[in-house]
Structure 1
Amino acid sequence: MILFIKLFLAHLIGDFLLQPKKWVVHKEANKITSKFLYFHVVLHFVITMILLWNLDYWKLALLIAVSHYLIDLSKLYADHLFRLKSIPFFIDQILHVLVLYVCAYNENLTAHTISLFSQLDWALVTAIVFVTFPAAIIMGKLLEGMSDQIELDHKSLPNAGKYIGMIERLFVLAFIVLGRWEAIGLLITAKSVFRFNDLKERNSRKLTEYILIGTLLSFGMAIVTGIIYTQIK
């Protein structure tokens, strides 16, 4: 585990802490001919060796550096295929982490992977999945009749309410799993404070009631999910 942690730390330092914005821009513009692409790869090799502090790992560090070069280069040429630039970014990061995982556990990769899956808390995984998109869809159906009576705010970000709801339910579930029920009260208070000015400016009773019902439903579903999980785990 300590080997993977060190490799992951080296990746974080090389990809985020020590990669200036101008390097990223230059790589995107010049791709394979960008000198900063090669600086970036060499930097990863050096950081990995420093953190491992063992010359016996030079082949491992070289393998990681080469794979990093190939993944980054592929991303540079595939960027234009995606409308959202966040998609190739996350694919790139997932591939990097997978390489680190394979390198760290190459001697017993299959056994370690099987062990990881066998130790997963599937009840918790199910609870996490439920409070995200399934809960959002269920809430949309429950509030469907009311939402038709609410004037849309075109200044709002698309689907912002849905994602805010998912995040708050994940927080509520985490607090229940950790046994920190008081934190749920703080979360409700914080949300109320942020919503207060909007509701005051709109001066709409229907909107206030709609948001209140939606908030209670969202927190209620997360709380019930958390209680069920704690009872069956």
Structure 2
Amino acid sequence: MNAYLIFSLMVLTHVLCDFYFQSDKCVEDKKYDGYRPLSKLKRFLIAHLLHAFYHSVAIAGVVFSWIFLDSGIKKCDAITCVNALNVLKVAGIVLASHFLIDVLKECISYKYKNYKASLFVVDQIFHLGIIFWVATSFFYAAPYQKISSNIYNELITGVVFIVALLVLIKPASFFITLFISSKTIGGSPGEIKMTKSVLASAYYADLSKIYLDTDDNSLNNLGVTLEKSKTKAESVISYLAAQDLNVDSKKAFLSNDAGKWIGYIERSMIFIFFIFNQAAAIAVIMAIKTAFRFNDLKDDNDSTRSEYIMIGTFLSFFITMIIAGIADFSIKSIWDGVEYKMLDFNIMAFFSKYIL
């Protein structure tokens, strides 16, 4: 085994701990909403500290397993106090860095709400940078083992494949949601303010629907009746609008998460077809999606909703192609001896010697 494998395993652990093994309560407690009251700040810091601790324990477990397997079952004496100290160093570095990076990201996101998507990307780059630094600093210096058995190649290939799929499911979905909502592109705000115009539009729309169903004998009095109704409605609307009412959009617009799962399946299928060089299958998927979207919007004059769907579709496809391209290059590098040596040895050595 080598630094390439341990780096891949640490990235896999990071993705699982950051996006899949967190409870909803932990996610809510980690959200920063100012310093008041003090109890919320305490809960905020404790939630981040616990998350960073679990993260560090998982990473340390992967590191210890690597040391044990790399030394060989019959060479247990190779796991010395020095190696144990390295495991503790890795755990401490991951704990401190993850806690600080996440807390800073939440605090900055609270102040710059329109840049949450960008801050999310920067946050993940810092996390991966720390993991890369740990892998090159603690494990690249270990005796280099030339991989002669296909079992190691298959192991690294499997890890890369799983990491790419996991990134395309929840992390990609989370980023797309942040990007659209932070820029308010077709997205719904957390709360809808019940202004006078909103109430009036809702009332008049319902009122018009009622009077459209009236028979011909009632049309003579329609104008008078409608004017009286509007006068009464104005007083009610003015009163309600003055109460500063808000409606929770999550409760007002319930979702069965079907769109989310469609995105998961779509990105996974495109990724797999890309890895196996099935461009025609990717084209079929996009054609089917386009046909369904066109049928859904052909009678809809809401340009904002159309733009929202287009941006989400293009962004999802773009992210999938980037991740698939990186995974494809990594997998081919593993199985190509020349490219593998260049990727694993020269780049790692350069960062270890001249940068880290």
Cα shift at 1:177:
9.7
Equivalent in the alignment of 2:186: 157
Equivalent in the alignment of 2:148: none
Indicate the SS of the match to 1:178. Answer: coil
Equivalent in the alignment of 1:20: 23
2:129 counterpart of 1:98: yes
Indicate the SS of the match to 1:53. Answer: helix
String of CA shifts for 1:88-123, please: whole Å, max 9, x gaps: 2222111111111111123669xxxxxxxxxxxxxx
**CA root-mean-square deviation:** 3.6
Aligned residues: 146
Question: Which of 7, 22, 47 is equivalent to 1:36?
Answer: 47
Equivalent in the alignment of 2:94: 64
> Whole-Å Cα distance in 1 between the matches of residues 293 and 90 of structure 2?
49
Give the counterpart letter for 2:297 in structure 1: D
> Whole-Å Cα distance in 1 between the matches of residues 19 and 274 of structure 2?
30
Question: Which of 257, 277, 280 is equivalent to 1:178?
Answer: 277
2:196 counterpart of 1:193: no
So what's the TM-score if we normalise by structure 2?
0.35
Question: Which of 49, 65, 77 is equivalent to 2:107?
Answer: 77
> Whole-Å Cα distance in 2 between the matches of residues 42 and 186 of structure 1?
42
> Whole-Å Cα distance in 2 between the matches of residues 71 and 31 of structure 1?
17
C-alpha contact 2:98 2:127 (8 A) present in aligned 1 = yes
So what's the TM-score if we normalise by structure 1?
0.51
Cα shift at 1:31:
4.5
C-alpha contact 1:175 1:184 (8 A) present in aligned 2 = no
> Whole-Å Cα distance in 1 between the matches of residues 17 and 276 of structure 2?
34
C-alpha contact 2:56 2:92 (8 A) present in aligned 1 = yes
Structure 1 pair 6–32 and aligned structure 2 pair: CA distance change class (3 A): farther
Give the counterpart letter for 1:37 in structure 2: H
> Whole-Å Cα distance in 1 between the matches of residues 60 and 291 of structure 2?
50
Indicate the SS of the match to 1:19. Answer: coil
C-alpha contact 2:56 2:91 (8 A) present in aligned 1 = yes
2:102 counterpart of 1:3: no
Query: Which segments of 5 or more consecutive residues in structure 2 lack a partner in the other structure?
Result: 34-39, 66-83, 142-184, 188-265, 302-313, 315-356
C-alpha contact 2:52 2:94 (8 A) present in aligned 1 = no
Query: Which segments of 5 or more consecutive residues in structure 1 lack a partner in the other structure?
Result: 110-155, 159-166, 204-217, 219-233
Higher relative contact order (CA 8 A, sep 6+): 2
Indicate the SS of the match to 2:113. Answer: coil
Cα shift at 1:80:
2.4
> Whole-Å Cα distance in 2 between the matches of residues 69 and 88 of structure 1?
15
Residues 38-57 of structure 1 aligned to structure 2 (within 5 Å): 38-54=49-65, 55=84, 56-57=86-87
C-alpha contact 2:29 2:47 (8 A) present in aligned 1 = yes
| Runs of 4+ residues deviating >4 angstroms | 174-177
Structure 1 pair 3–31 and aligned structure 2 pair: CA distance change class (3 A): farther
> Whole-Å Cα distance in 2 between the matches of residues 60 and 176 of structure 1?
33
Give the counterpart letter for 2:48 in structure 1: L
Indicate the SS of the match to 1:9. Answer: helix
Give the counterpart letter for 1:157 in structure 2: G
Structure 1 pair 106–53 and aligned structure 2 pair: CA distance change class (3 A): closer
> Whole-Å Cα distance in 1 between the matches of residues 106 and 285 of structure 2?
43
> Whole-Å Cα distance in 1 between the matches of residues 5 and 137 of structure 2?
14
> Whole-Å Cα distance in 1 between the matches of residues 132 and 119 of structure 2?
20
Equivalent in the alignment of 1:230: none
String of CA shifts for 1:37-61, please: whole Å, max 9, x gaps: 2211211121112222353422122
Structure 1 pair 195–80 and aligned structure 2 pair: CA distance change class (3 A): same
Structure 1 pair 51–198 and aligned structure 2 pair: CA distance change class (3 A): same
Structure 1 pair 98–32 and aligned structure 2 pair: CA distance change class (3 A): farther
